[in-house]
Structure formats: C-alpha cells, structure tokens
C-alpha cells in the first residue's frame, strides 16, 4: 500500500488546478491508489459555507482543508487539495501539520487566467462586482519552493499531471511503474 500524502495545488482561479486534479485522480485510481479530492469550490459550498473572502476567512478555510487533509493522509490516502490558497503562511502551516505534503504550483499569468475565465469571475472582479478577488483586487503570494511547477500556459494538463506522478514516485509515495 502506498503512503498517504497530500498533493496541495495552489494557483490563481482558472490556472488549471481542477483540470489537472481530475487527470491526476484518474491516473492514480487506474494504478489502484486510494484518492480523495478536496476541491476549493466544493469545500466552500460544504465545509466552509458562510465564510467571506477576507484574509481571516480565507486562512480559516485553508486551515479546515488542511485538517481534513491531515486526517486522510494519516490513513494512507492520497489527498488532492485544489484550492487557490493565496497566502504562503497558510500553505506552510499546512505543510507542517500534514507532514507528507507535495506543493504543486499551477503557474499561469493573470492575463491567461482571465482569458480562460471559465466562470466569468475575472470580468466581474475587474468591473468591481466581486470584491477581494485573488490576482485582481487581492494578492496572490507565489510559492517560493514548490515541489512541482506546472506551467499551464506552456504544457498540457496531461503533461502537468505526469510531472506530479513522477514526483510522487521520486518521493516514494507511490511505486514506480
């Protein structure tokens, strides 16, 4: 059985976190791994319903996600957390809490994310309709030393997912194939 680990995706809205997550999940399940996904939108609807997008509430949301990741990781589940998590301190706190942790940065410019804009959020943020929008009216602190960087403007989601699989193998969380 593989070791539990949290694969923590961070990046702007529209950077490719959810797309890569679905490919990674499918790949890992095909290899017989136990996988759970904590997607930021789903977490906000269920676990963190009612929280705003203030810094304090964002930190609380990320703390909650980290707590669930820690529990699942401890029980030898590969947890894929796809959350914007804009603040370095919150990500580092979760790395310390969870232990078995791989940080994946879905690196993509605000301009490219705004062009993709699958939910129409950038237009609303730029017009002032949405306040506290990461990358537009709120900061995003890029990771300094992520374990994997997915350059989503220059590689396919499949290539990005493969980079993560290779890192999981390299760190000994899953068997090499």
Contact 78, 33 (CB under 8 A): yes
Q: Are 99 and 73 in contact (CB under 8 A)?
A: yes
Nearest-angstrom CA–CA distance, 100 and 73: 7
Distance of CA 171 to the CA centre of its chain: 19
Alpha helix stretches (DSSP H) within 4-109: 17-30, 40-45, 55-74, 88-98
Domain annotation covers residue 148 = yes
Residue 176 lies in a domain: no
Q: Is residue 177 part of a domain?
A: no
pLDDT of residue 93: 96
pLDDT at 1 (0 to 100): 56
Which residues are designated catalytic? 85
pLDDT at 125: 80
Domain membership flag for residue 95: yes
- The one-character DSSP state at 100 is S
All residue ranges of the chain with pLDDT < 50 are: none
Domain presence at residue 102: yes
Whole-angstrom distance, CA of residue 151 vs CA of residue 153:
6
Number of domains in the chain: 1
Q: What does the pLDDT read at residue 137?
A: 76
Q: What is the pLDDT of residues 60-70, one digit of tens each?
A: 899 999 999 99
Q: What is the pLDDT of residue 133?
A: 83
SS3 94: helix
In whole angstroms, what is the distance from residue 18 CA to residue 84 CA?
10
Task: Provide the domain limits for residue 143.
Answer: 5-170
pTM for the model stands at: 0.93
For residue 175, being part of any structural domain is answered with: no
pLDDT of residue 170: 97
Within-domain flag for 91: yes
Any idea what the CATH number is for the domain that residue 46 is in?
Answer: 3.40.50.300
């Amino acid at each position: 059985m593989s070791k539990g680990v949290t694969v923590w995706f961070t990046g702007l809205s529209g950077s490719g976190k959810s797309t890569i997550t679905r490919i990674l999940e499918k790949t890992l399940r095909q290899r017989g791994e136990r996988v759970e996904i904590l997607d930021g939108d789903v977490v906000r609807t269920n676990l963190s319903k009612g929280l705003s997008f203030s810094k304090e509430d964002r930190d609380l949301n990320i703390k909650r996600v980290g707590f669930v990741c820690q529990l699942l990781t401890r029980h030898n589940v590969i947890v894929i957390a796809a959350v914007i998590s804009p603040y370095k301190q919150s990500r580092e706190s979760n790395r310390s809490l969870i232990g078995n942790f791989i940080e994946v940065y879905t690196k993509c410019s605000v301009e490219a994310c705004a062009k993709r804009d699958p939910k129409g959020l950038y237009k609303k943020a730029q017009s002032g309709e949405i306040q506290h929008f990461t990358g537009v009216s709120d900061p995003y602190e890029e990771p300094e030393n992520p374990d994997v960087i997915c350059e989503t403007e220059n590689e396919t989601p499949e290539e990005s997912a493969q980079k993560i699989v290779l890192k999981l193998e390299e760190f000994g969380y899953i068997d090499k194939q």
